[in-house]
Structure 1
Amino acid sequence: MTALWTSAAIATATSGKASAAFTADGVAFDSREIGPGDLFIALKGEHSDGHLHVEQAFASGATGAIVSQAVDGPHILVSDTTQALDALARASRSRTDAKIIGVTGSVGKTGTKEALYAALDRCSFGKAHRSVKSYNNHVGVPLSLSRMPADTKYGIFEMGMNHANELSALTRLVRPHAAIITAIAPAHIGNFPNGEAGIADAKAEIFEGLMPGGTAIIPHDSPHCPQLRKKAERHAGDVISFGFEAGADVRAIDVVAAPGGGSLVTAKLGDQSLCFTIAEAGLHWVSNSLAILAAVRAVGGDLASAGLALAEMSGIDGRGRRHFIALKSGGKATIIDESYNANPASMKATLQHFASEACAGQKIVILGAMGELGEQSAHYHAALADDILLSGVNAVILVGEDMAHTAAKLEQGLDQGVKMSHATNASEALTEVAKLLSDGDILLVKGSNYLGLSSAVSALVSGEY
C-alpha cells in the first residue's frame, strides 16, 4: 500500500529540511488525534504551541513531524508550520486527478457533504475522500486536503466562514470543479453590516476558486439567487439552480412522506426525471438532495448511487441523529440530537418538522441560544417563540442568556398546560429534562455549539444523568 506522504515529498512541498527518512499514512495537528503512522504538524496559535506536544505525538505513534524548531525524532524543519500546512494542502491538490466538490452555505453544509461522500464513494468503489467532522476553517480545510490520497477519484470539502474574505482563501486551496451553496440564512449576521446580502456575497466567494469550466450550484428559491448567480457567472462555466419553484434547473416536482419517516421525492433534472427516497426527514433535506444530485451529475458521478446513498443516510451526531434510550424511571424515549449548531433558519426548519413528529407521549424541546447575531439577536430570539408555539410542544427548556427574549414572548402565547423553564447552561437543562422525560416522549435538542448541549445528549444516551 502506497504511503500518503514520504518525508521527501513533504520536504519538497513545504520547502523544509528532513532530519531523517520516514513515511506517513495520516496527518493531524491535534496530538490527541495522532495514531500509528501519522504525521504531526506542530501549529502555533495564540494560546497554544504544538511543539509542546511533539513528544506526546511520537509516543502515540507519529512517524514524523513538521516543526519550526528542531525536536527529537524524525521531522521536517520549516520556518512556519501554518504556512507548511497550506503548502502541503496545495501539493496534495496538485498531485490528484480527482473531481473536487466544495460545499458551503448557512445551513446544511455537513449533511450535504456527508451525503455526497456516501454517493461518490459508492460509485468509485471506495475512492472518495471528504473533510471529516466540521473541519471547514482556515486550518481544517488544508488539513483535510493534506489527508487526501493521491489516487482519490472524488474529493468533497466543506468550507465555512463567519467573516468576508475567508471563503475566498479556502476555495483557492480547494479549487473545486463544482461548488454548492446550500442556503443563505442569518448565521453570523452580527459580523455583516449589510445583513443577509453581505452573507450572500461572502458565501459566493466559493465560486472564485472554481476550476476553468467549473459548475456553480445555487439555491433557486432564495431571495438572494440573482445576487449569487451574478457572482457565479463571473467564475463558472455553468450555473445550475435547485429548488421547489418553477424555473429551477433541478426541481422537486413531488414530495410525499415516506413510510417510517423521510420523504419520497420525484425530481426533474433538465430532461431527466428521478424518483428516490431520503431517509432524513424535513423539506430542508429535500432541498439539500437536489443540490447533491446536481453536483453528482456535474462531476460525472452516478445518480443511482446518489439515490441509494440518500435512502440509507442516517443522522449525524449533533445534526439529526436519533437515539432511542431506556429511562431510569422505566419506559423508553426518543432523542433527536441537533445540538451542534443553530441559527434562525435552521431553528425554524427543525421546529417545523418537529411539529409533524408522531409521539405517544410528550414533545419536549431543549433550545439553546443562537450565537453571532449581533444587534439583531433580541429580534431573532423573540421571533423564535412563534416557531416554538407552532411546533406543538408540551414542554420547552430554554438555555442561555439570549433566550430571555424568547421566554418573554413565549409567556404571552403558551397554553396553560405547556411547561417552560429557562436554564443558564447545559447542566441545568439536563437536570430539568430529567424530571420531565417519561415513556413515549420525544425530545429535540438544538442550540449553538458554544453552549455544549451535546453533553446533555451524551448524558441521556449513556444513562449518566
Structure 2
Amino acid sequence: MMNLQQALDWIPLAVLVGDGRTRFGRVHTDTRSLQAGDLFVALKGEHFDAHEFLAQARAKGAVAAIAQQGLVDADLPGLEVVDAKLALGHLACGWRSQFNLPLVAVTGSNGKTTVTQMIASVLQAWKSGEAFATAGNLNNDIGVPLTLLRLRASHQVGVVELGMNHPGEIAYLSALTKPTIALVNNAQREHLEFMATV
C-alpha cells in the first residue's frame, strides 16, 4: 500500500487535493474493475475522457484518484496533474524504485507475450509465489506502469513485457522498469509502420 503523499513526492507538478495520508492498494484506469480501496487514474484519449467517471469511481469504492481536473466536484481526494498518463508513469517509476529485485524486460517485434509467459513459468517454478510477471500483454505506456504497480515486497524476481508503437517508447518503458536483464526477442518489419527502418 501507498498513500497520496508518497505519490505526490513522485509526480512532478502534482497538486494534492484532500488528505495526503489517504492510503490505497491497487491502481486502476477502468471503473469496471475498481474495488474498495483502489486509486483511479482518469485517463483522457482521443475518443474518451475518464474524468466523466470520477463520481462513478468514488461510488465503486475508489478512495482517491489522479486526474487533470474534477476531483473537488467528485468529492474525491487525490492528485491533480497536468497529464494523467505521464503521472501514472511517474507513480510506477517511484513505486518500482522501492524494490531491489532482478527483473527481465522482454521486447521485440514478435513473440513478446509468449516469451514473457515462458520465462514467467520458469521463474514461478523456481520461486513459487515470489515471481512477478506481466499479466496478458499489458506492454504499453499504460500497461507497463499498471504492471509495475502490482509489485509487492514478497516478489523476489520478475519479468515484464515492453511493447512499442512510436519512437522512444522502449526507452521510456525501460526507464520505468529499470530491468537488470534486457531480452530483444527479434526485430522485424512489423515496426516499419512506426519507424523509418528496422
Fold shared by both chains (TM-score > 0.5): yes
Residues 167-206 of structure 1: pairs in structure 2 closer than 5 A: 167-194=170-197, 198=198
Counterpart CA distance in 2 for 1:185 and 1:24 is: 41
Determine helix, strand or coil for the equivalent of 2:193: helix
Correspondence 1:44 to 2:76: no
Q: Specify which of 103, 106, 110 is matched with residue 106 of structure 2.
A: 103
Conserved 8 A contact 1:8-1:18: no
Do structure 1's residue 62 and structure 2's residue 65 form an aligned pair? Answer: no
Q: Which of the numbers 76, 79, 102 marks the counterpart of 1:76?
A: 79
- Of 5, 10, 22 in structure 1, the residue corresponding to residue 7 of structure 2 is 10
TM-score normalised to the size of structure 2? 0.86
Paired position in structure 2 for 1:141: 144
Change (3 A) 1:151 1:77: farther
**Between structures 1 and 2, the one with greater strand share:** 1
The structure with the largest helix share of the pair is: 1
CA distance in 2, matches of 1:12, 1:150: 20
- CA contact 1:11–1:18 (8 Å) conserved in 2: no
- On the 8 A contact 1:92/1:150 being kept in 2, the answer is no
> How far did 1:35 drift?
2.2
Following superposition, the deviation at residue 151 of structure 1 comes to 4.4
SS in 1 for 2:61: coil
Report how far residue 18 of structure 1 moved.
4.4
| 1:150 positional shift | 4.1
Judging changes above 3 Å, is the alpha-carbon distance between structure 1 residues 18 and 115 closer, same or farther for their aligned structure 2 residues? Answer: farther
Query: 5+ residue gaps in structure 2?
Result: none
Closer/same/farther in 2, CA of residues 166 and 83 from structure 1, 3 Å limit:
closer
Deviation per CA, 1:313-334: give whole Å up to 9, x if none. xxxxxxxxxxxxxxxxxxxxxx
Distance 1:67-1:192 versus aligned 2 partners, 3 A rule: closer
Q: Distance in 1 between matches of 2:89 and 2:194?
A: 26
Secondary structure of the structure 2 residue equivalent to 1:180: strand
In structure 2, distance between residues paired with 1:72 and 1:116? 44
1:29 alignment counterpart: 29
> How far has the Cα of 1:128 moved from its partner?
2.1
C-alpha displacement at 1:116, in angstroms? Answer: 1.9
In structure 2, do the counterparts of structure 1 residues 118 and 16 end up closer, same or farther at CA, with 3 Å as the change threshold? farther
1:198-225, CA deviations, whole angstroms, 9 ceiling, x for partnerless residues?
2xxxxxxxxxxxxxxxxxxxxxxxxxxx
Higher relative contact order (CA closer than 8 Å, sequence separation 6+): 2
Tell whether the 8 Å contact from 1:104 to 1:158 is kept in structure 2 after alignment: yes
- Contact 1:7–1:18 (CA under 8 A) maintained in structure 2: no
Rounded to whole Å, the distance in 2 between the matches of 1:105 and 1:40 is 31
- Measure, in 1, the Cα distance between the counterparts of 2:24 and 2:134: 18
The alpha carbon displacement at 1:96 in A equals: 0.5
Residue 121 in structure 1 maps to residue 121 in structure 2: no
Offset of 1:140 from its aligned partner?
1.5
CA displacement 1:19-67 (0-9 Å, x = unmatched): 1332222111122222232211111222222111112222222222112
Q: CA deviation at 1:168?
A: 1.7
Rounded Cα–Cα distance in structure 2 between residues aligned with 1:8 and 1:163: 32
1:51 alignment partner AA: H
RMSD between aligned residues = 2.0
What CA distance in whole angstroms lies between the structure 1 residues aligned with 2:90 and 2:165? 24
Which whole-Å deviations, capped at 9, do the CAs of 1:226-263 have from their partners, x for residues lacking one? xxxxxxxxxxxxxxxxxxxxxxxxxxxxxxxxxxxxxx
Alignment of 1:362-401 (within 5 A): none
The CA deviation string for residues 290-326 of structure 1, in whole angstroms up to 9 with x for no partner, is xxxxxxxxxxxxxxxxxxxxxxxxxxxxxxxxxxxxx
What amino acid is aligned across from residue 13 of structure 1 in structure 2? Answer: W
> How many Å apart are 1:160 and its aligned residue?
0.9
Q: What residue number does 1:157 align with?
A: 160
Change (3 A) 1:33 1:175: same
- How far does residue 129 in structure 1 lie from its aligned partner after superposition? 1.9
- Whether the aligned pair in 2 keeps the contact of 1:131 and 1:156 (CA below 8 Å) is yes
Match of 1:245 in 2: none
Q: Give the unaligned 5+ runs of structure 1.
A: 199-465
Other structure's SS at 2:76 match: coil
Quick one: structure 1 residues 118 and 62, their matched pair in 2 at CA, closer, same or farther if it must change by over 3 Å? farther
Code of the residue aligned with 1:7 in structure 2: it is L
In 1, distance between residues paired with 2:82 and 2:163? Answer: 28
Counterpart CA distance in 1 for 2:25 and 2:117 is: 22
> Structure 1 pair 67/121, CA: closer, same or farther in 2 (3 Å)?
same
3-state SS, counterpart of residue 103 of structure 2? strand
Change (3 A) 1:163 1:42: closer
* Whole-angstrom distance in 1 between the partners of 2:4 and 2:121: 32
| Identity of matched residues, % | 33
Q: 1:93: which partner in 2?
A: 96
